[in-house]
Structure 1
Amino acid sequence: MATSSPLLKKSVKIACVQLASGADKPANLTHAADKVREAASNGAQIVVLPECFNSPYGCDFFPSYAEPLLPSPPSPEQSPSFHALAAMARDNGVYLVGGSIPELVAPDFSSSPPFKPKYCNTSLTFSPAGTLLATHRKIHLFDIDIPGKIKFKESDVLSAGNDLTIVDLAEYGKIAVAICYDIRFPELAMIAARRGCFALVYPGAFNTTTGPLHWRLQGQARAMDNQIYVALCSPARDVKAGYHAYGHSLVVDPMAQVMVEAKEDEAIVYADLNSAKIEEARSGIPLQDQRRFDVYVDVSKVKP
């Protein structure tokens, strides 16, 4: 009986950079480059930045910090963040999941006027050669209202993406990239896992209301359901900002055990991922062989 090839071809070290960013975009890009260099110097081969790493997080900031990414590649003048991320990956020889940045999308002139630009919350993943591998536009927009605690409505400014993002890292295998609120929708993770990903990577900026409740729990739940690794990368907390990120960047193993977790301050957390952990989880609790697709649908095979 032939054995299937492992999801993770060889062991890899991942780093989540819990970055402190402010209002100065060029300073944010320089600071991110310094931290990516530090992560690479400590042996990381996959480096992850947080959601909205190049700007403050908030609906008031998205339009003024947004950069056009299409047609690709944009010029350095159009998108300094795109070129900064490409250089970070290339200069350090790492796969870089570039957190996310606000993206300016040109108006659709084939539609009816008025022609208004759109904005997306967009993650860019680059190869060690500095080549763009994938673009993920946040699919689920963060619209919540918890009375007396937090109200936020990304859809006031942002438009949602429409595509699941799976990235092939040639030496290692496939990862899925999604952003923050996307983690609350387990269908995305199920599809990615059943299509052969060894890890789910979520740049995110949970807040100090939902973070203590659900940040770690969501990471563990997605790992437990799918028996693969999960990495969550948050901005560092800035109590002077209008939005207080929870922090606590972490990596969870395929048995839903938290391998490493930051606190709220700026930090880099590292984890070594290996195929044996995935195989151990799946052989001990063989969910993949026990699903009842005669009773419920396999979401990974349903096309919209």
Structure 2
Amino acid sequence: MSATIYLIQMTTSCNALENVEFVAEQLAKLPAGGEKLVCLPEACLAFNRSIVENQQLAENHLHWRARYAELCQTYGVWLAVGSMPVPAADGRYYAASILFNREGKAVAEYHKLHLFDADVSDGTKRYRESQGTAPGQHLEVVDTPFGRIGMAICYDMRFPSLFQQLRKAGAELILVPSAFTTVTGAAHWEVLLRSRAIETQCFVIAAAQVGVHQNGRETYGHSMVISPWGTILAEVPKDVTTLAVELDFTELQRVRQAMPLPEHSRFAEQLI
């Protein structure tokens, strides 16, 4: 089996309508026919300046879900919305990654488990994602025409136990939409993604934000697709563009058969 995957690298603004229209423009350029999975980066709906702005988006999340669903129906694509705010019970919002099928039905929704509360030597310096964002409570793995997809978001990639659980749940592809800082990206982006692919023997699909944003953040870019052997199959460094790659699942089968890591692990039963 093979599958065609598209990653849209974005420099998302604070204007949600503008960002959705940009995605529509990119979808209109894709070739007609066939099953297509299009992956958007973290904060693809809007990369806002404040918690209040994100809360307003979360309150209106049904409207934006409907807009993404319409894009799927219009262009006949599966669409992985990297993240958008949706309401949480405690008054904060979840960073929700939502997978829509070509009919516009949401077939999976993952809420970011690990929140970026860190200090970085860049222009922002102090990140406290948990002030506005509530942590998710569940894993998400779903069957699709493109294989069994596991879902993660950005900072999640620093926690290999999550990825081991996705593999244990049957994941063959793992989506990691991201908005990595330029400092942490230069240091860790590639090595983390390749490590997660090698450890899980999964394809890792990482659509990224890039450039200087209206909210003052600067993101690393380098959207990439990595094979179960850890090979970078495709990458786009700094451009705002769409990256296309065809995945060959015979490689996944070959890698897993040649080196059956779950069977060899002496810690598998200890994973929660």
TM-score by length of 1: 0.82
Deviation of the 1:57 alpha carbon: 4.5
Query: Which secondary structure state, in structure 2, belongs to the residue aligned with residue 193 of structure 1?
Result: helix
Gap change, CA 1:174 and 1:78, over 3 Å in 2: closer
Give the aligned partner of residue 131 of structure 1.
Answer: 105
2:149 to 175, 187, 193: 175
Structural mapping, 1:175-214, within 5 Å: 175-214=149-188
Give the aligned partner of residue 42 of structure 2.
Answer: 51
Gap change, CA 1:148 and 1:233, over 3 Å in 2: closer
Give the aligned partner of residue 20 of structure 1.
Answer: 11
Does residue 161 of structure 1 match 2:136?
A: yes
Give the aligned partner of residue 83 of structure 1.
Answer: 66
Give the aligned partner of residue 265 of structure 1.
Answer: 239
Deviation of the 1:87 alpha carbon: 1.2
Structural mapping, 1:2-151, within 5 Å: 10-39=1-30, 41=32, 45-60=36-51, 62-68=53-59, 79-105=62-88, 117-146=91-120, 150-151=125-126
Does residue 238 of structure 1 match 2:212?
A: yes
Residue identity in the other structure for 1:92: Y
Question: Which deviates more from structure 2 when the two are superposed, residues 130-139 or residues 36-45?
Answer: 36-45
Gaps of 5+ in 2: none
**Contact (CA 8 Å) 2:13, 2:48: kept in 1 or not?**
no
**Contact (CA 8 Å) 1:252, 1:259: kept in 2 or not?**
yes
Gap change, CA 1:78 and 1:247, over 3 Å in 2: closer
| 2-structure distance, mates of 1:118, 1:34 | 32
Deviation of the 1:208 alpha carbon: 0.5
**Contact (CA 8 Å) 2:118, 2:126: kept in 1 or not?**
yes
Residue identity in the other structure for 1:282: R
| 2-structure distance, mates of 1:160, 1:263 | 30
Give the aligned partner of residue 283 of structure 1.
Answer: 257
**Contact (CA 8 Å) 2:70, 2:104: kept in 1 or not?**
yes
Residue identity in the other structure for 2:94: C
Gap change, CA 1:42 and 1:247, over 3 Å in 2: farther
| 1-structure distance, mates of 2:213, 2:79 | 28
Deviation of the 1:105 alpha carbon: 3.2
Deviation of the 1:37 alpha carbon: 3.0
Structure with the greater alpha carbon radius of gyration: 1
Residue identity in the other structure for 1:15: Y
Question: Which deviates more from structure 2 when the two are superposed, residues 279-288 or residues 79-88?
Answer: 279-288
Question: Which deviates more from structure 2 when the two are superposed, residues 36-45 or residues 237-246?
Answer: 36-45
Residue identity in the other structure for 2:192: Q
| 1-structure distance, mates of 2:47, 2:266 | 45
CA RMSD, aligned part only?
A: 2.2
| 1-structure distance, mates of 2:259, 2:253 | 10
Residue identity in the other structure for 2:245: A
Question: Which deviates more from structure 2 when the two are superposed, residues 203-212 or residues 172-181?
Answer: 172-181
| Paired residue total | 271
**Contact (CA 8 Å) 2:147, 2:173: kept in 1 or not?**
no
Residue identity in the other structure for 2:140: T
**Contact (CA 8 Å) 2:55, 2:92: kept in 1 or not?**
no
Question: Which deviates more from structure 2 when the two are superposed, residues 147-156 or residues 22-31?
Answer: 147-156
Question: Which deviates more from structure 2 when the two are superposed, residues 268-277 or residues 246-255?
Answer: 268-277
Deviation of the 1:126 alpha carbon: 0.5
**Contact (CA 8 Å) 2:141, 2:151: kept in 1 or not?**
yes
**Contact (CA 8 Å) 1:17, 1:36: kept in 2 or not?**
no
| 2-structure distance, mates of 1:179, 1:143 | 14
Does residue 250 of structure 1 match 2:241?
A: no
Q: Deviations over 1:214-242 (max 9, x none)?
A: 11111100100011100111123126641
Q: Deviations over 1:25-50 (max 9, x none)?
A: 21111111221333454966111011
Deviation of the 1:288 alpha carbon: 3.0
Q: Deviations over 1:108-147 (max 9, x none)?
A: xxxxxxxxx2212111111111111111111100000135
When you count helix as a share of all residues, which structure comes out higher? 2
Deviation of the 1:261 alpha carbon: 0.8
